[in-house]
Structure 1
Amino acid sequence: MRKTIMLAALILGSALSPAYAASGPIKIVLPEEADLLEPCMATRSNIGRVIMQNVSETLTELDVRGDKGLMPRLAEKWEQKPDGSWRFHLRQGVTFSDGTAFDAKDVKYSFDRIMSDKNACESRRYFGGMTVNAQVVDDRTIDFNVDPVQPILPLLLSLVTIVPEGTPLEFVREPVGTGPYKLTNWTPGQQIVLTARDDYWGQKPQVTEATYLFRADPAVRAAMVQTGEADISPSISQLDATNPATDFSYLDSETVYLRIDHNIEPLNDVRVRRALNLAIDREAFIGTLVPDGALLATAIVPPPTLGWNPDVKVFPYDPEGAKKLLEEAKADGVKVETPITIIARTANFPNVTEIMEAIQSQLQEVGFKVDLKFVEVAEHEGYYSKPFKEGRGPLLVAAMHDNSKGDPSFSMFFKYASEGTQSGFSDPKVDDLIRRASAAVGDERAKLWSELIAYLHDEVVADVLLFHMVGFSRVSEKLDFKPTMATNSMLQLSEIGIK
């Protein structure tokens, strides 16, 4: 009897002890293939959800699962100096996946690399409107001097992935990082495989290997998890989310919108831009093609981002008002009958095809001539970011923008400033508000962001803002994982447990 009790205790203890936690490989099925695995492009969702914090790590990390705020990653601590610069103290005992040691020179090189004109690093866009100089103090210490002073620089650095000094300035195919995984296979069009590192500086993850598969149809992705062909699909449609044991909704930080190119007639006329907004019945999408719980957008950032303005109202559905504005513009010589093309990204989010087709139809009903073109992610970037193509016609670029950081700095400069890489217009007042808000703190910072949000929506009519989305995931019952607002853009394998 005593032996039986002791054996039962040992079995129970083993089941509860982290030392005996289950581990093994998993398969993840995604809607879009990664066209690159370049670390400085990890802020793009189709790349970041594979390598961000898995292969390539950052100095700091925002806690999206709790209330810890900004957490240490490769930096153990940091402080702002009296002159407004920031000093970061780096973690010791860290190595890259190629065996080289991590130190401050790698941090400086990584930052200088993203700012180089020899590449098109996407993370550069978050440092627009400021001059940043990284200075090595010693192997474990680095200073960042910023003009104008940036009170949220440590948060901005949560998007700068660290690569070894000497990494080519041009984009790399095989990323080398300090993260818990390394790339072991990439067969374009088929799969990507990440394998856990034995020499990782941090806690050993339970997932020993992750194979990423790619299927554009959300129903197919959901079925693959149901049948055991895959273990996680971070993005399925609401219609497929039918099993409470495996399907989870999560608050999303993504905003769906149409970026208007103000540079080309007739979109350079504010009446035409208002007519675009009045022609769309946003409410009709909620609960049909767009999930219940999604919010109608009045800003490129979701609530409760700092400075989000509750006084800004969604454009009403007013097709007669849209027709009247087009008639007024036409009477003044504006070429309102010029065909406009909507450029959309294939498989960007569930029901993207049906949503864009419905928007095309609604715009046509009020008198717009609208074409619809779907492209893959790499071609989409050519329409979405500067330099814009010469000789282009009027464009609406359908996109989904992620800001899960809680501050508009991660959106406003590159979306709306005159020099912003994805800005479709130039407005001195917008530039001034962005500059002042980025350098402000406390209530003044929130006030300036709030003023900018209202000005962009009500007076500039910068975009056709549509929805703050709700996401749905399917997770195998053998896994211990709940999605977060960051899941669509960053899926950390170390957060996944195996039951």
Structure 2
Amino acid sequence: MKKFKRIAALVLSVALVGISLTGCGGPKASSDTAPKASDTLIYAQGAEPRGLDPAMVDDGESAKVMINIYDGLLKYSKDSTKVEPSLAKSWDVSPDGLTYTFHLQEGVKFHDGTDFDADAVKFNIDRQLPPQVTADMAYASFVYGSVKDVQVVDKNTVKVNLTAPSTPFLANLAMVMSAPIISPKALKDNNNNVNQAPVGTGPYKFVNWAKDENIVLVRNDEYWGTKALTKNVIFKFIKDNSARVVALNNGEADMIDGIDATVVKQITDAGNKIFQAPGMNINYMAFNTSKKPFNDPKLRAAISQSINVPEMVKSLYQGYSEPATSVLPTFMEGYDKSIAQVPYDVEAAAKAIKASGLTSVKLMTYTNPRPYNSATGQALAEAVQGYLSKVGVTCTIDSYDWTTYKEKLKAGNYDICFYGWIGDNGDPDNFMYLLAHEDPTMNVALYKNPEFNKLIVKGVETPAGADRIAIYTQLEKMAAADAAWLPISHAETLCAYRPNISDFYFHMTGVTPFVGVSKK
């Protein structure tokens, strides 16, 4: 309980910080202003962010914090991935689809007091284009892969020129990864990396990051848009699922994520509420296709054939996830219900595996809950280990916390790993491109298929409609035939919150905007 007592003490200290902070540009309140518990929201999540520079990170834990610090040119609506104006108040697209002209909001300031303008937009995009782009900017090709160059027309107008038409381009600009606009001054002052010192134009300002403990934000009282209702937000890191539930039920946290079916009754019996919504995600097992033994698609298919996916999903997720039959969520354009992975057949699998001579494999997984896998990667790996033991394969499991796991993936020292994806923009390219990406922390199967990659490019350039949908259906079929992944499940979004919290929601892209959330 000592940990939770520190949270309560932190609420008061942060409230005091929020009313006296002047370094972020906020007005200084009188010293006798009394902090109130309602001034601070505490959100407990299962893992620590990798960083807070949108160009340098690719994980959901980072995204939940960054959505509150930064704005992009565009944003998504509250209940969908429909694109809406943000720092760009309007835009025009040339008839050939190669030039996008953005008309910017006027008078907007970054948290450090510098001006947001067309030069800032160009600076942010240019850092993610050749020759400036770096290998650790995993989302640069997702968002800006079609960009040729950026032109400043005047202070409040910027043109983005493309090398080829890009149907998902506007949706990409609303992502919380890569697309948000950072203060150029902050980037220059921090050697082009603000992972530890984020400066945006958003409704909250960064105050402090205590490693392994929390991140503290304070309201931006000079925000150009709708101002936040609550003064302070604390993102608290509590790795253990049961400890997060205890924190919620004891009132030491206002909202938590990473819950599963086993704790729903415990939460509701304590008078707390469940946030539940369809998830735009995929939870999967990936084979390392770059080396033996799983450079052989027939062996990959045999291993997949040995795992009873529907049975495993029912056991692990108890009705809060549905078995996946393909990479794409069932409601996304391109999904085809006729597509299926190799069917479960333990006898056929055992025969094929025995013929291959395979007797052992190395599994690598993560220990934290994920929005697409509330049971944790450890539980999933152990379930797979059980199935493979029935076909004569012994599994060793290497497990790491999420941040370490992301680093370990780069080395490729595994036969099979476990991963997942939360859709960023509602476009099928955002899912299928994972199997074409060059970054080993994105394309964890290390899958390389020139024909698949060509079709990915065609899908991006093809206008919305039946022809484009058919391309992504074809990509799904190719992925299923090659069995680089075993799709496992699509999870519902499950979070919990205290009854005195109003208007909390978890967006389908996996982020938690707090601008409209209040606490009684």
Q: Deviations over 1:130-155 (max 9, x none)?
A: 34322211111111111221122111
User: Is the contact made by 2:128 and 2:134 (CA closer than 8 Å) also made in structure 1?
Assistant: no
Q: Deviations over 1:13-41 (max 9, x none)?
A: xxxxxxxxx96211111100123222324
Q: Are 2:116 and 1:96 equivalent residues in the alignment?
A: no
1:161 is aligned to: 180
2:31 is aligned to: none
1:339 is aligned to: 361
From 395, 399, 403, the equivalent of 2:423 is: 403
Give the C-alpha shift of residue 186 in structure 1.
1.1
Q: 1:404 to 1:350 in 2, by over 3 A?
A: same
Residues paired across the two proteins, number: 463
- 1:412-491 correspondence runs (5 A): 412-413=432-433, 415-417=434-436, 419=438, 421=440, 422-423=442-443, 424-441=446-463, 442-457=465-480, 459-486=481-508, 489-491=510-512
User: Is the contact made by 2:326 and 2:341 (CA closer than 8 Å) also made in structure 1?
Assistant: no
Distance in structure 2 (CA, Å) of the matches to 1:140 and 1:339: 57
- 1:181-196 correspondence runs (5 A): 181-196=204-219
User: Is the contact made by 1:234 and 1:483 (CA closer than 8 Å) also made in structure 2?
Assistant: no
Q: Are 2:135 and 1:112 equivalent residues in the alignment?
A: no
Give the partner amino acid of 1:87: T
Distance in structure 1 (CA, Å) of the matches to 2:419 and 2:144: 21
1:12 is aligned to: none
Give the partner amino acid of 2:61: N
User: Is the contact made by 1:271 and 1:326 (CA closer than 8 Å) also made in structure 2?
Assistant: no
Distance in structure 1 (CA, Å) of the matches to 2:135 and 2:184: 16
- 1:309-324 correspondence runs (5 A): 309-324=336-351
Between stretches 186-195 and 128-137, larger displacement belongs to: 128-137
1:34 is aligned to: 49
Give the partner amino acid of 2:148: V
Distance in structure 2 (CA, Å) of the matches to 1:496 and 1:305: 29
Give the partner amino acid of 1:399: Y
From 346, 352, 374, the equivalent of 1:350 is: 374
TM-score in terms of structure 1 length: 0.87
- 1:243-282 correspondence runs (5 A): 243=268, 245-282=272-309
**Could you say what secondary structure the match of 1:454 adopts?**
helix
Between stretches 257-266 and 283-292, larger displacement belongs to: 283-292
Give the partner amino acid of 2:505: P
TM-score in terms of structure 2 length: 0.84
Distance in structure 2 (CA, Å) of the matches to 1:338 and 1:248: 41
Tell me, which stretches of 5 or more residues in structure 1 are unaligned?
1-21, 331-335
Give the C-alpha shift of residue 245 in structure 1.
4.9
User: Is the contact made by 2:306 and 2:349 (CA closer than 8 Å) also made in structure 1?
Assistant: yes
Give the C-alpha shift of residue 195 in structure 1.
0.3
From 147, 155, 160, the equivalent of 1:144 is: 160
Give the partner amino acid of 1:474: A
From 64, 67, 87, the equivalent of 2:101 is: 87
Calculate percent identity across the aligned residue pairs: 24
Distance in structure 2 (CA, Å) of the matches to 1:302 and 1:361: 27
Q: 1:183 to 1:290 in 2, by over 3 A?
A: same
Give the C-alpha shift of residue 82 in structure 1.
2.3
Q: Are 2:513 and 1:492 equivalent residues in the alignment?
A: yes
1:13 is aligned to: none
From 386, 394, 403, the equivalent of 1:378 is: 403
**Could you say what secondary structure the match of 1:371 adopts?**
strand
**Could you say what secondary structure the match of 1:158 adopts?**
coil
Q: Deviations over 1:37-74 (max 9, x none)?
A: 2232454201011122x1011111122425x8211111
Q: 1:59 to 1:217 in 2, by over 3 A?
A: same
User: Is the contact made by 1:278 and 1:318 (CA closer than 8 Å) also made in structure 2?
Assistant: yes
Give the partner amino acid of 2:516: E
